[in-house]
Amino acid sequence: MSSAPVRFGVVVFPGSNCDADAYHAVSTFPDAGVQYLWHKDTDLKDVQAVILPGGFSYGDYLRCGAIARFSPIMQSVIDFAEGGGLVMGICNGFQTLVEAGLLPGALIRNTGLKFVCRYVNLRVETTDTPFTGACEPGELLRIVVKHNDGNYTVDPETLAHMKADDQIVLRYADAAGERVEGANPNGALDDIAGVCNAARNVFGMMPHPENSVEAGLAGGADGRRLFQSLIDSVLRTAEVTS
């Protein structure tokens, strides 16, 4: 007996440009369904997981994610997250989650001062999240980053709390899984590529797993692990509650 497909929603802000890729990525999973959520709406259409996609919402003209955070849909996303709903922010979506206060820290200009599009190796630092549950601890995911402002930073006190609470989800590493000079594409503090909130239902990452779901393409398929985790997590929750 197969369960009902997991209902994903992909938010579309003006300037989002990975919304279609996130939509496409989800649709490559037979046990998932997906629809767009328009930034001017407030209805989350009963989705079980929300993706804030990459792009340049509002042109990134003020500060990445700073305007998107005030979209009507975001109040609904915040309410959804506070109620335990699963929210994943990718790149500009991560920046928006940080601006909205759903995740700690900030994303500032890359140390190289240039946009960087590059394959990176991501080390899975914790599998105790709904977003990495299908991964092996320490597993390496080869996924592309592409951003101007992916340099994660946070005050030392918060960082200590995040570490204590196991909120560092992904770190940049080399192909052997070592954190070495050159593996971190943007200067992020502590090589941080992705974090979750203390409640573990909100997750943000700079690299783009939605461009890494098909083995035949240049982006490879390592990103599937994250989407699969999310789907498994929702299905498990559904089993428990039914």
Partner 1 sequence: MNRRATLEAAIKLGLTADEYAHICKIQGGEPTYVELAIYSLMWSEHCSYKHSRPILGRFPTSGPRILQGPGENAGIIDVGDGWAVAMKVESHNHPSAVEPFQGAATGVGGIVRDIFTMGARPCVSMDSLRFGELTEPRQRFLLDGVVGGIAHYGNCLGIPTIGGEIYFEPSYAGNCLVNAMSAGMIRTDNIVRAIASGVGNHVVLIGSKTGRDGIGGASVLASQEFDETLEEKRPSVQVGDPFTEKKLIEACLELIHRHLVVSMQDLGAAGLTSSSSEMSSKGHVGLDIHADRIPLREADMEPWEIMISESQERMLAIVTDEQLADVREVCERWDLDCTVIGEVTDSKMLRIWWHGERVANIPARRLADESPVIRTPSVKPSYIVDEPVAVDDTGYPQPADLGAALTQLLAAPNIASKRWAWEQYDYIVQANTMQIPGSDAAVLRIKDTARGIAFSNDCNGRHCYLDPYRGAKAAVAEAARNLACAGALPVAVTDCLNFGNPEKGEIYWQFEQAVEGIAEACEALGTPVVSGNVSFYNESFGQAIYPTPMIGMLGVYDDVSVHIDDAFKDEGDVIVLLGAEAGWMDGSEYQKIAYGKVEGRVPDVDLQLEVELQHKLRAAIEARLLKSAHDCAEGGLAVALAECCIAGGSTGGAQFADPEAPRSGRHGRWPGADVDLGSAASVAGAAGRPDLALFGEAPTRVIVTVAAELLGPLDEVLGGLPHRVLGRVTGADMRCTMEGEELFTVAVSELHSAYESLPQRLA
User: Which residues carry out catalysis?
Assistant: 91, 208, 210
DSSP symbols for 138-155:
T-EEEEEEEES--EEE--
Residue 92 sits at φ, ψ, to 5 deg, of: -60, -30
Q: Per CB under 8 A, does 62 bind partner 1?
A: no
Q: Per CB under 8 A, does 177 bind partner 1?
A: no
Pairing of strands 86-90, 49-52: parallel
Q: How many residues bind partner 1 (CB under 8 A)?
A: 43
Contact (CB, 8 A) for 103 and 97: yes
Q: Which of 199, 217, 236, 238 binds partner 1 (CB under 8 A)?
A: 217
DSSP conformation class of 6 = E
Q: Which of 8, 29, 56, 203 binds partner 1 (CB under 8 A)?
A: 56
Instruction: In angstroms, give the least distance from the CB of 205 to partner 1.
Output: 16
Give, for 34, the enclosing helix (H) or strand (E).
Answer: strand 32-38
Sign for the pseudo-dihedral over CA of 158, 162, 168, 169 = negative
Partners of 146 in the β-ladder: 117
Q: Which of 41, 214, 221, 237 binds partner 1 (CB under 8 A)?
A: 214
Residues 23 and 41: their CA atoms lie apart, in Å, by 18
Give the residue with the Cβ less far from partner 1, 99 or 159: 99
Q: Per CB under 8 A, does 70 bind partner 1?
A: no
Give the residue with the Cβ less far from partner 1, 16 or 233: 16
Q: Which of 4, 61, 62, 75 binds partner 1 (CB under 8 A)?
A: 61
Residue 27 sits at φ, ψ, to 5 deg, of: -70, -10
Give, for 15, the enclosing helix (H) or strand (E).
Answer: none
Residues 9-38 within binding reach of partner 1 (CB under 8 A): 14-15, 17-18, 20-21, 24-25
Give, for 21, the enclosing helix (H) or strand (E).
Answer: helix 19-27
First to last CA, the chain: 14
Residues 72-111 within binding reach of partner 1 (CB under 8 A): none
Instruction: In angstroms, give the least distance from the CB of 20 to partner 1.
Output: 7
Q: Which of 62, 75, 114, 199 binds partner 1 (CB under 8 A)?
A: 114
Footprint of partner 1 on this chain (CB under 8 A)? 14-15, 17-18, 20-21, 24-25, 40, 55-56, 58-61, 114-121, 142, 144, 146, 174-176, 178, 180-183, 208, 210-211, 213-214, 216-219
